[in-house]
Structure 1
């Protein structure tokens, strides 16, 4: 079996992260104010309990770019709180996942 020759272009740009960055770039317009840009603790947007989720959602509640943030998070398959919504792999979640094995359902 012979290996296929990979061009320099394919080697650099054939990753999911680069593809997503080109298809869903973060807009840097002078009029857009991202409330979370200067937050002292960015880990608040990756909550581990319901209280942390409520704190992140409260912070996002008055953000002027909330809808744009949520759209970016979904298109990029992100994790954490984006636009006040908890995402896992770009999909909205109803709450923080519980640790351990899920209960058996008969």
Structure 2
């Protein structure tokens, strides 16, 4: 006999909701996130090395840099978190170029 799910159980079966509960953003007013009032959120999703350097420069002096990186990795995030470029929570060395990679002979 198959058990029916309640409305509440069915609601929490997505990865995003699960991650939000297991790795929530601390809302402590004592934490000073350098990016909190930044006017351009696209800065943290760089498309070239210059944009990556600008995001990393902003993150360099952030007092919660380590916490930010940890959250980005635990949540499988994309973009710059704690001064590190992430793709699915894994660090990347550089911004990926658009298009297919060239064939190596």
TM-score band (shorter)?
A: over 0.9
Q: CA deviation at 1:10?
A: 2.5
Partner in structure 1 of residue 64 of structure 2 = 65
Partner in structure 2 of residue 74 of structure 1 = 73
Structure 2: which 5+ residue stretches go unaligned? none
Question: C-alpha separation between the residues in 2 aligned to 1:103 and 1:4?
Answer: 52
Give matches, 1:50-61, under 5 Å. 50-61=49-60
Question: C-alpha separation between the residues in 2 aligned to 1:46 and 1:74?
Answer: 15
Runs of 4 or more, structure 1, over 2 Å off, are 3-7
3-state secondary structure, aligned to 1:37: coil
Partner in structure 1 of residue 96 of structure 2 = 97
Question: C-alpha separation between the residues in 2 aligned to 1:46 and 1:99?
Answer: 14
